[in-house]
Structure 1
Amino acid sequence: MSSAVVRQWYRDLAMGVRFTFTGGREGWVRAVLTAVGVGLGVALLLLTAAIPNALATRQDREQAREDRGIGYLADNSRSKPTDKSLIVADTDTEYQHQEIRGRLLEPEGVDAPLPPGVGKFPAPGEMLVSPALSELLRSDAGELLRGRLPYDTVGTIGETGLIGPGELAYYAGADGLAPRLDDSVVARIDRFGLSMVEQPEEEVDPILLLLTLVVFVVLLMPVAVFIATAVRFGGERRDRRLAALRLVGSDGRMTRRIAAGEALAGAVLGLLFGTGFFLLGREIAGSVEVLDISVFPSYLNPSPGLALLVALAVPAAAVLVTLFALRGVVIEPLGVVRTAKPARRRLWWRLLLPLGGLAMLYPMLGQGSDNGEFNEYMVTGGVVLLLIGITALLPWFVEAFVARLGAGAVSWQLAVRRLQLSSGSAARMVNGIAVAVAGAIALQMLFAGVEGRFTESTGQDTTRAQMELTLPKDLSVSAAGKELRRARGAESTAALSTTTVSATAKDPEETTEMTVGDCGALRELAEISSCRDGDVFMLGAPSDPTVTKLVTAGNTLYFDASYSGEEPGAEIAWKVPAEVRKVPERADALRTGAAGLMATPGALPAKAETVFYSTVYVRTDPRVPNALDEVRNAAVAIDPLIRTWEWESTRRVDQFADIRTGLLVGASAVLVLIGASLLVSQLEQLRERRKLLSALVAFGTRRRTLGLSVLWQTAIPITLGLVLASTVGLTLGAVLLKMTGVPVGVDWPSVLSMTGIGAGIVVLVTALSMPPLLRLMRPEGLRTE
């Protein structure tokens, strides 16, 4: 391109920019509407660009306060206190299904490390809390939680010690933790920020990679469509202005470059608006929690490279979209040919886009079943082409459909005639929703199809117990079991302890497991007809001859045998009684995999209880509100180091759950963008028709009729758009399922819900556009300059 051509492009683009800002009130309104539409899309793009940094910052904050992992003082149970040592006890808990991070702190020296976000250690009986936990404790909703945290709040945890503003966390002062060091719940450390235990790097599951790619494409495609739509606001008025430019001597190419300059100005102004929307949204994000995920505003900083990419891509796209839109418009000095009946749209080239997308995805069918790898570029390209195919097919679909519509009520005829004359504008308005709905349907099908692959059974029967409590080793299981049995919310409890017995007290080679509990608790594991305290049982028929050899009447076995080089054990001797009955395991045993000996407490030496690892299983009372939290409160009252877990029958793989959470969070943001952008687009179309609406009212048309006509003009294209979106979405979903080797099945509730959400957004936007519509119908709308 020669320098003269470059200068000509520059002059024409600059003239278009001047027209944008010197075109009077009309020009400014058009520029602001364009900027708002583009700005909303830019804000979401910047938010997307900030997500990697937000995730990395959250991970860094989590790592900085880590107190479990590589870096423990060697063998905590035998480590010695120093000037730099700190004892930390893990007291994480849950409250009404919200996770609460808790730590007890006992500094042992003047240089003990402070956790991030903490300026001073709380004294015993005091605690520092996160702002969200402080608010919860002060509210009526936190009444039950206040009983579980019997500490005086003396301060808050700073931002550097939290992973998000909505996190519930506390640090409480404690004493007497040293005798309870156990390397799991209570540990002695000399710094925070310990490295997590290193795990071998796992290969990314190809289906998870596929899910991630599709989620990003589906969430970003509507944004691109909205930006492309926004830069075409005021298209008809713009073309009439360009006809005036032809009248004073400009040629066709020059007018197109001037139009591109106007679009460029609107896009640059949109970048400024988008930056403002992003900064405003970033501040709002600090007070919003979606699916238990919250971030501080400082987390949301897009990387300079991605931000620069957005800043360059949006204006460039605005220019290209404008030039593409004007390719079929003949701008003459006395008018614009588009005001006449447009030529019928051709279908063949519009079909090439979705067919091309299917062709790119076809080679990867079935790869997921063999754990094969998907080509990221072909996946992204195929999904993009299929979704862009909607934007190409929808104008043809709307035009072909409305051309066959006929007589009806006056409001219907007004709407149909308007759609027949400008079906392209109507299709552009709903393109974004159609793309979003199609992508959402495909993703819902994919998630529903592969969910079973990433959902594993825990083996826990939630009808038998709803909670499991692990007791510290130094806590008497008999005393704790009695207290928990009386807890409000506990219908019944089963306290089961395990230990290992061996044939020798030193360096044993032959061992077997022993389960201890009262008769009621043992019946949760085995079918026992008669039982009394002092009985001993053999669970099942042991396949290991060692067990049979050990469990011989009169044999002496030892609890807590010791090994060379380790701390000496208690080495408690116990003689196997004469009668050891064999009992079969229950088909629905409370704890699967139990084997070996089972004994009631009366059959064992009293001091043997000190070597038990004990768990209490609780069946909650369904008549008691918040029964789980009542039991947790009772457990903390017994000992704050009791760990509690709510039972779940299934558990999802963390990565799958994270991707689904990310989809829902992103979809929420896209839905907000859909509604806002559609409202702006609707207002822009009404503004362009202000004179027409005022003229119709002046000739006696009822306002109710015009209101219904606007509703029909929105309802017809959105219905067609949702039909097309459902078709493409189901097709894409079926192809993605075939790629993963999963049988194709349609998740109809999800399909209907996604379609319903899209229709609901349109109804809401139409309702919000009614007040401006009534104002535009006033006689003042006939005035002109």
Structure 2
Amino acid sequence: MIRRWAGDLALGMRLALGGGGARTALVRLALTAAGVGLGVAVLLTATSVPHLLGARDDRASSRVLAPGALAADVDPVYAVTRNDEFRGRGLQGYLVQATGTRLPAAPGVDRLPRPGEMVLSPALAELLGSPDGELLRRRLDQRVIGTIGDAGLTGPNELFFYVGSDTVTRQPDATLVSRFGYESSHRPLSSLELLLVVVGATTCLVPVFVFVVTSTRLAAAARDRRLAALRLVGADRGQVHRIAAGEALLGAFAGLLVGLALFQLIRVLVPRITVDAFRGGLFGTDVVPDWRLGVPALLALPLLACAAAVFALRLVVIEPLGVERRGTRTRRKLAWRLFPAVVGGALLLTGLGGDGADNPSVIVGVVFVLTAVPLVLPWVVERVAGLLGGGSPAWLLAVRRLQLDSATAARLVSGVAVVLAGSIALQGVYARVESERPAPREIRVLASYYATSVPDGEAFTAALRALPGLGAVPVRTSAMIETASGERASVVVEDCPGLRARAGVTDCRDGDVYAATTYRGYVPEPGDRLWFSELRRIARAAVPQWTVPAVHRVPMSGEGAPELVVTPAALATASGVGLTVNATLPDAGPDLVERVRNVVGWNGSVYSLGTGRDSTSALITRVLSVGSVLVLLFVAGSLLVAAWEQLRERRRSLAALAANGVGRGVLARSLVWQLAIPVAVAVLVAVPAGLVLDWLVLTFVVHRPMTADVPSIALLTATAVAAVLFVTALTLPALWRTTNLENLREE
């Protein structure tokens, strides 16, 4: 029996290659392979996401500073992290200061740089060499001794550096390390973030399986005629079904090969992505499918193709007379089509198996609800088409075609309906995530400079205020002092004129220390010997760095008045000073911000306040945004493939209409109506389905109120309709060729 089944499958494959003429068979096979191949490429790419993100995280973790026990065979380095920007692009790296010759190894770097040297990522080196990097070259003016390899970068477009400096020990956030890298821990996703992933992934993957089923049913009429001929020569019904499965199997196998080729093309093109979808870009070598997800998906596709081909024959009666006879045409039933929606809704309502978005029943429920959309759509299209009446010739042709074969039209737009329903639900979840994000603060730029003396801080202040528009920018100089017993206090460095103006202190002498009478923290006594806390931690200074002069308790008033003040002359005898000079700037243009960064140099940092977003949420949003665009392109491409096949299959009837005087314009308008009507129905089905899914997951899964975002829904609907109309326009040239009288000839 196995041999007979294998023979029937092999016969089906041979018929798929040569049935109805070699050229026609190859065109049919190519269309099927293209449809399945698109699905395979999307599935492989989707199953590569875990490895891609994991590889990025592993490389990022491998270069993180690892403080702790120092290795005996390595001379440690002082290092400080710098997270910077250059005109909106992330700029990150380390300043390092060696303590010996046996430097620790950093991933992707031959050796760490010494003062005056630097090692850059290829993208950063390219930027510095371009005209756009002129302002950045003033900051990165060290000698380049090498480039960072892939092992030390999260992506090919990342701007990363290692800069050698002899001032690292003066910076309060410096760390002494003898190795790079440690196993990082990531915070778990919040319920809303996890729900965003679930709905987004389901929205991206369900249309793939929908179109794989549709692709295996291309050229169904020609296949049925071939099967009728086989019945004529003695094939029984079981053989006919196995032969049909063999034809679908060949298309599925060809689609697997096409999908693998497309996937390899995606891996080649991925490093060229320069948009901010992923900060630093993606390595093509990271796009590796997870075999636990990819292998079952690839094995499921041929089985799904065979099942769809056999299932399509359930209403077809193939007799040995060489003709195709259909049984009595019956109206579609709605009950079983609603079953997945009912089951999915019940799972989301009851939350069987647990509470929250990490419950597996939530994933199953979302999949069931979205799967119900393409199942219900043919029933609705059939009912709507049956209600439509007369009109123009183009309208009549379109309506009559829909009444005769509404299932084909519904299959053409089912992918659009699924994407639209899922996108509406996804937009609702995303809107809820955004609404729970803290309101953004006023956008400001905070510049911090680490000074080693009062004159050093004054020089920075003068250079900063010399920049255009920053002549009156407020500056605050502070330090952290520490006693031998570990008591700490934060002090502000202020001259007497400033102390009189800001705090209302009338009796001030430069060289003394002043504490507010209301201050209840540690107040140093005259003669106390103290350290500057951060410098003591870094340099492990054993000798106190500063002896406290006279200390006075005075009343201080005014907004922002400090509580513990050190006048500049009081620090003149300090053996080592660690001061932080902070300046808050109004929101400025990008060039001015870069000039501020150049003034700060590597002895500080510049941050943009009020513009940050949660990195996890931003990453999920970027991934889903790219995925949504790819799925929309996939749906448009699949719709185009199916529309071309429909035109090719109907070429004789269209050519006959043209031969009998029906103009091409009428046929073109008829083609537009044949897609426009199902699209309108798809919108009517998808919008309520998306809103209901949004309500279910927000109300019963994460217990948040739902708010309909009408403008976003309208935009999503308009985008879906525009995609269908664009595809329709692309099919018009094929329509002109189809109406040639040569297509009246039998093949």
Using structure 1 for the length normalisation, give the TM-score: 0.85
Q: 2:466 aligns with which of 486, 491, 511?
A: 486
Structure 1 residue 530 displacement after superposition: 9.4
Q: Structure 1 residues 377 and 436 mapped into 2: Cα distance closer, same or farther (>3 Å)? A: same
Contiguous gaps of at least 5 residues in structure 1:
75-79, 586-594
Find the aligned partners of 1:522 and 1:775 in 2 and give their Cα distance.
87
Name the structure 2 match of 1:117. Answer: 108
Q: Deviations over 1:678-701 (max 9, x none)?
A: 211111111112222222222222
1:471 maps onto 2:456 in alignment: no
Higher deviation after alignment, 105-114 or 435-444: 105-114
Q: 2:493 aligns with which of 505, 510, 516?
A: 516
Structure 1 residue 385 displacement after superposition: 1.1
CA contact (8 A) 2:513 2:550 kept: no
Letter in 2 for 1:222: P
Q: Deviations over 1:243-290 (max 9, x none)?
A: 222222222332122111111111011101100110111101121144
Q: Structure 1 residues 413 and 489 mapped into 2: Cα distance closer, same or farther (>3 Å)? A: farther
Find the aligned partners of 1:711 and 1:520 in 2 and give their Cα distance.
79
Name the structure 2 match of 1:45. Answer: 43
Find the aligned partners of 1:772 and 1:736 in 2 and give their Cα distance.
43
Name the structure 2 match of 1:18. Answer: 14
Structure 1 residue 178 displacement after superposition: 6.7
Find the aligned partners of 1:512 and 1:121 in 2 and give their Cα distance.
36
Find the aligned partners of 2:471 and 2:721 in 1 and give their Cα distance.
47
Name the structure 1 match of 2:70. Answer: 73
- How many residues matched? 735
Q: Deviations over 1:628-668 (max 9, x none)?
A: 223212322xxx2311111116x544333332222123223
Q: Structure 1 residues 704 and 188 mapped into 2: Cα distance closer, same or farther (>3 Å)? A: same
Higher deviation after alignment, 602-611 or 313-322: 602-611
Name the structure 2 match of 1:215. Answer: 200
1:283 maps onto 2:284 in alignment: no
Letter in 2 for 1:507: S
Per the alignment, in what secondary structure is the counterpart of residue 473 of structure 2?
strand
Name the structure 2 match of 1:299. Answer: 286
Find the aligned partners of 2:257 and 2:470 in 1 and give their Cα distance.
59
Find the aligned partners of 2:498 and 2:726 in 1 and give their Cα distance.
58
Name the structure 2 match of 1:176. Answer: 166
CA contact (8 A) 1:86 1:105 kept: yes
Matches within 5 A, 1:529-678: 544=520, 550=523, 560=531, 567-577=542-552, 579-585=554-560, 597-599=563-565, 601=567, 604-607=570-573, 611-620=577-586, 622=588, 624=589, 626-636=591-601, 640-648=602-610, 651-678=612-639
Q: Structure 1 residues 16 and 189 mapped into 2: Cα distance closer, same or farther (>3 Å)? A: same
1:245 maps onto 2:230 in alignment: yes
Per the alignment, in what secondary structure is the counterpart of residue 330 of structure 1?
strand
Name the structure 1 match of 2:655. Answer: 694
Find the aligned partners of 1:508 and 1:37 in 2 and give their Cα distance.
70
Structure 1 residue 217 displacement after superposition: 1.8
Q: Deviations over 1:10-41 (max 9, x none)?
A: 33222211211222221111111000100010
Contiguous gaps of at least 5 residues in structure 2:
none
Matches within 5 A, 1:56-71: 56-66=54-64, 68-71=65-68
Structure 1 residue 439 displacement after superposition: 0.8
Q: Structure 1 residues 489 and 754 mapped into 2: Cα distance closer, same or farther (>3 Å)? A: farther
Name the structure 1 match of 2:414. Answer: 431
Q: 2:139 aligns with which of 144, 148, 151?
A: 148
Q: Structure 1 residues 600 and 555 mapped into 2: Cα distance closer, same or farther (>3 Å)? A: closer
Letter in 2 for 1:575: A
Q: Structure 1 residues 138 and 500 mapped into 2: Cα distance closer, same or farther (>3 Å)? A: closer
CA contact (8 A) 2:194 2:358 kept: no
1:507 maps onto 2:485 in alignment: yes
Structure 1 residue 157 displacement after superposition: 2.6
Matches within 5 A, 1:37-436: 37-66=35-64, 68-71=65-68, 73=70, 84-106=75-97, 109-119=100-110, 125-153=116-144, 155-172=146-163, 174-177=164-167, 179-180=169-170, 184-185=173-174, 187-192=175-180, 194-195=181-182, 205-293=190-278, 294-334=281-321, 335-338=323-326, 342-364=329-351, 372-374=355-357, 376-436=359-419
CA contact (8 A) 1:489 1:621 kept: no
Find the aligned partners of 1:519 and 1:699 in 2 and give their Cα distance.
101
Letter in 2 for 1:318: A
Name the structure 2 match of 1:749. Answer: 711
Find the aligned partners of 1:118 and 1:146 in 2 and give their Cα distance.
21
Structure 1 residue 364 displacement after superposition: 3.2
CA contact (8 A) 1:89 1:103 kept: yes
Letter in 1 for 2:447: E
Q: Structure 1 residues 541 and 435 mapped into 2: Cα distance closer, same or farther (>3 Å)? A: farther
Q: Using the aligned pairs only, state the percent identity.
A: 36
Find the aligned partners of 1:399 and 1:522 in 2 and give their Cα distance.
83
Find the aligned partners of 2:461 and 2:677 in 1 and give their Cα distance.
67
Q: 2:431 aligns with which of 433, 445, 448?
A: 448
Q: Structure 1 residues 716 and 178 mapped into 2: Cα distance closer, same or farther (>3 Å)? A: closer
Per the alignment, in what secondary structure is the counterpart of residue 784 of structure 1?
coil
Structure 1 residue 608 displacement after superposition: 6.3
Structure 1 residue 676 displacement after superposition: 1.7
Structure 1 residue 118 displacement after superposition: 2.9
Structure 1 residue 337 displacement after superposition: 3.6
Find the aligned partners of 1:104 and 1:740 in 2 and give their Cα distance.
44
Structure 1 residue 159 displacement after superposition: 2.1
Q: Deviations over 1:36-56 (max 9, x none)?
A: 100010011111122222222
Q: Deviations over 1:540-579 (max 9, x none)?
A: 965x4x57xx49xx97776538899973332431333364
Letter in 1 for 2:166: G
CA contact (8 A) 2:529 2:544 kept: no
Structure 1 residue 110 displacement after superposition: 4.7
CA contact (8 A) 1:431 1:721 kept: yes
CA contact (8 A) 2:192 2:429 kept: no
Q: Structure 1 residues 516 and 288 mapped into 2: Cα distance closer, same or farther (>3 Å)? A: same
Using structure 2 for the length normalisation, give the TM-score: 0.89
CA contact (8 A) 1:559 1:570 kept: yes
Q: Deviations over 1:165-202 (max 9, x none)?
A: 11112334x353475475x34x443333x326x76x86
Letter in 1 for 2:493: V
Structure 1 residue 232 displacement after superposition: 1.1
CA contact (8 A) 2:504 2:557 kept: no
Find the aligned partners of 1:530 and 1:386 in 2 and give their Cα distance.
74
Q: Structure 1 residues 765 and 55 mapped into 2: Cα distance closer, same or farther (>3 Å)? A: same
Letter in 1 for 2:58: D
Q: Structure 1 residues 689 and 569 mapped into 2: Cα distance closer, same or farther (>3 Å)? A: farther
Q: Structure 1 residues 234 and 596 mapped into 2: Cα distance closer, same or farther (>3 Å)? A: same
Q: Structure 1 residues 566 and 148 mapped into 2: Cα distance closer, same or farther (>3 Å)? A: closer
